Chains A and B, each alone.
Chain A
Amino acid sequence: MPTTQEIASRIEAGIPGASAEVEDLTGGGDHFRATVVADAFAGRSRIEQHRLVYAVFGEEVGGPIHALSLKTETPVRQP
């Protein structure tokens, strides 16, 4: 069963420059919520941003990882 740290590390490894914060929604190791900030999201629709994250896990999402709730953002930079 993956830990929140493992989920976060895999997202960060799979999407260059991403930073991820992950919580286990139920404590059961199969319902996670991730907030992911990445430059790679710039110019992409929400659907495409979420697909990038889901692609890291392939068929695990919807399988052993029952739910991976996502919030995706591009980095905010002060002007």
Chain B
Amino acid sequence: MTEATRSDASANPVREAIQRAIDEHEVILFMKGTPEAPACGFSLRTAGALQALDAPFAAVDVLPDPRIREELTALSNWPTIPQLFVRGELIGGCDIVMEMYESGELAQALGVGAPAPSESALSAEPATGEGPLLGIESAPR
């Protein structure tokens, strides 16, 4: 890490916390509300697709702090919430996730729904990385 990125990170702790959360969770959904109590229909559908596949995922509610959404959008170059990241990469928002769910691509991307020995690796996903800036909920279902 260069001097420049270190000072960027310390100058922007929210963005740094978001980047760390994305790096540390194999599947992470930024949404409005929580998987149990979504606060928007698009977040509801996206979390529902992951739950329907029984895919373990971490979830971050963007509503408690407006900076989370601002910094997430700046980082991902994606204007709306929800946003699903798998292995550090933006998969999409509600439309793309639902299209991929219906076509079977989502199960493939998540490594579920196939006879995959990697499933135990997914479930063993650590729920660490929680800082004071982001409430990260690891949803087992």
Q: CB within 8 Å of B: which residues of A? A: 46-47, 50-51, 54, 59, 61-62, 67-71
Contacts and interface: CB of A to CB of B under 8 A. Distances in A.
A6 to B, nearest CB: 18
Given A47-B90, A50-B96, A54-B78, 6 more contacts: A46-B92, A50-B92, A50-B93, A59-B79, A69-B42, A70-B95
A31 to B, nearest CB: 9
Contact of A69 (B77, B90, B94): B94
A70 B80 CA distance: 12
Interface residues of B, number: 15
B96 A47 contact: yes
Interface of B: 42, 73, 77-81, 90-96, 99
Contacts of A54: 78-79
A7 to B, nearest CB: 14
B95 A69 contact: yes
